[in-house]
Amino acid sequence: MSVTMIEAAMAAPLCGVSVRWPKVLHAVEMREFMRPGRTVTAPCGASRLRLAVTEAGAPMPWPPAVAGLAPHHVRCRECWVKTGRKRPRSRIVTEEEE
């Protein structure tokens, strides 16, 4: 399931991941998607990011709750500080927790 630009715009800011370090979640703001021909860059400077999606295929809003992240996944501290230390807007839960 792919994410449409409308879904991304409604949920922004979103979580992005790097192919090289897929266990670190970065903040991705909507203005990054509006720059034609450029890669998506996080506030911390990480570039070439891809959108992180939930198991349902929806874009994952930034910042995620640290307690609900998959094992060994972390959110980028520098992105969290540079986006104003926002409170978590999402919590990822397993089916057992519901």
Please provide the DSSP assignment of 16-52 as one string: EEESSSTTEEEEE-GGGTTSTT-----TTS--SEEE-
Residue type at position 53: V
**Domain extent at residue 59:** 5-82
Q: What's the pLDDT tens digit per position in 19-78?
A: 889 899 999 887 776 666 677 889 898 988 888 877 777 778 888 877 777 888 898 999
Structural domain total, the chain: 1
Q: What's the pLDDT tens digit per position in 47-56?
A: 888 888 777 7
Distances (CA, A) of 64 to 21, 28, 34, 76, 98: 17, 12, 23, 11, 17
pTM: 0.73
| 16 in any annotated domain | yes
| 95 in any annotated domain | no
pLDDT on residue 28? 87
Q: How far is CA 91 from the centre of its chain?
A: 12
Cβ–Cβ < 8 Å for 51, 8:
yes
